Amino acid sequence: MIKRIALAASLTLALAACQGQNMSTRHLAPIPPATMALMTSKGMSQTDPILMRAYKKESEIEVWKRGSDGRYALLKTYPMCRWSGQLGPKTREGDRQAPEGFYTVTPAQMNPNSNFHLSFDLGYPNAYDRTHDRTGAHLMVHGSCSSSGCFAMTDDAISEVYALARESFASGQRSFQFQSFPFRMTAENLARHRLDPNIAFWRNLKEGSDYFELAKQEPQVSVASGQYAFGGDASVMAAIAQKRQNDDRQVAALAADGVQPIKLVYGDGGQHASFRQALAGEDGPLAVDASARNRLGDISRPEALAAGPQEVVLSANGKPRQGASSTLAYTSQKPQGGRAPSGELSSQGAPAAAPVPAAQAGGGGGSVLERFRGLFGG
């Protein structure tokens, strides 16, 4: 116990040295009792190593804990209050894209003095990003509800996630892996996005996702020939190859059954449906008032969230099919009591979206087809 307290103290001093004079104690907030009880019920400890996974489309961040058997198990799923840009990787400074890929977070990347309550730096650009001459820096997971390339998850949620990371670092974990995906890597999602210009990159990410899903261990990540290369147990690698074949057959079957290829076009990123519902006024539009900002913090570009993403059906050449688009509305089911979410989901899946008649998404300017062409230069 004395050794662990000493490690926690040294970690706090190191963070203060990296980030400047520590002006508050919010980074020392304990893990909430309910989460401690959840860990106990799952046979987990606050000292166990962690791993995180993020999904843009579903607007969720998962925290996993590694057990004594070396395998990770899901602790909690947190809703994202805001992410910006489109599905797809960050490529240049100022593009408002949130990174996609496999990142490493060390104690030095934890920021107790963030302007957004608390934060940690994802480590973008990583080796893969640098291989592709990608630019940008200071891409964070932080509090509040504002994003210009970051993942924002409210002050309460980042306080809890920060505490989970702090305790794991204080117990000897030297770094944790942060896996960032455009969506959950299912055959259904891959079939729907099969003509997206990013599909080759996403299929590469899926190799690492499959390793984790099958082994419940973090994959060894490197870069070879301009792609992510994943290594690990030989039996797992063989199982991944078999899973890839099965998934490819399922994608082909879904396409043959009429699943249309689509492109999701966002006004400027998205947020979890539960936040959108909590912000909705009586007549439907977003009600971003002083009360909402008091609950969630600053909410960036609410006009871009108003309509939800545009689902554009693609032709065989990958271009938009004229007149075939719709706006995905957030589910009409509201959180209990109509309150904003507390930063926790009880299940892994995001509420389903339902198609509604086409409408122009806010914040982007021009029609959805014009914004789509703008993304690809024609």
pLDDT in tens, 18-58: 343 456 899 999 999 999 999 999 999 999 999 999 999 99
Residue ranges of E strands in the chain: 50-55, 60-66, 72-79, 82-83, 101-105, 110-111, 119-121, 140-142, 151-152, 176-181, 220-224, 227-231, 262-265, 310-314, 320-329, 354-356
Give the pLDDT confidence score for residue 299 in this predicted structure.
82
Give the active site residue among 27, 81, 117, 150: 150
SS3 sequence, 99-138?
CCEEEEECHHHEECCCCCCCEEECCCCCHHHHHCCCCCCC
Give the pLDDT confidence score for residue 230 in this predicted structure.
97
User: 90 to each of 166, 183, 198, how far by Cα in Å?
Assistant: 27, 15, 11
Give the pLDDT confidence score for residue 327 in this predicted structure.
65
Digit-coded pLDDT (tens) for 329-351: 543 333 333 444 444 454 333 33
Q: Is 21 exposed, middle or buried (0-12, 13-18, 19+ CB in 10 A)?
A: exposed
Q: Residues near 179 by Cβ (< 8 Å), separated by ≥ 6?
A: 51, 52, 53, 54, 102, 103, 208, 209, 212
Catalytic site includes residue 117: no
Return the amino acid letter for 44.
M
**pTM for this model (two decimals):** 0.83
Phi-psi region of 189 (alpha: psi -120 to 50; beta: other; left: phi over 0): alpha
Catalytic site includes residue 18: no
Residue with tokens 């805001």: 82
Q: Six-digit token pair at 183?
A: 């969506």
Distance CA 345, CA 279 (A): 17
Q: Is 265's pLDDT higher than 60?
A: yes
Give the active site residue among 142, 145, 193, 272: 142
Counting the structural domains of the chain, the total is: 1
Digit-coded pLDDT (tens) for 316-325: 999 998 766 6
Digit-coded pLDDT (tens) for 206-247: 999 999 999 999 999 999 999 999 999 999 999 999 999 999
Phi-psi region of 349 (alpha: psi -120 to 50; beta: other; left: phi over 0): beta
Distance CA 373, CA 316 (A): 16
Q: Six-digit token pair at 331?
A: 């589910």
Residue with tokens 């607007």: 59
Distance CA 151, CA 135 (A): 18
Can you tell me the mean pLDDT for 120-132? 98
Give the pLDDT confidence score for residue 11 in this predicted structure.
47
Q: Which residue has the higher pLDDT, 186 or 363?
A: 186
Distance CA 352, CA 335 (A): 14
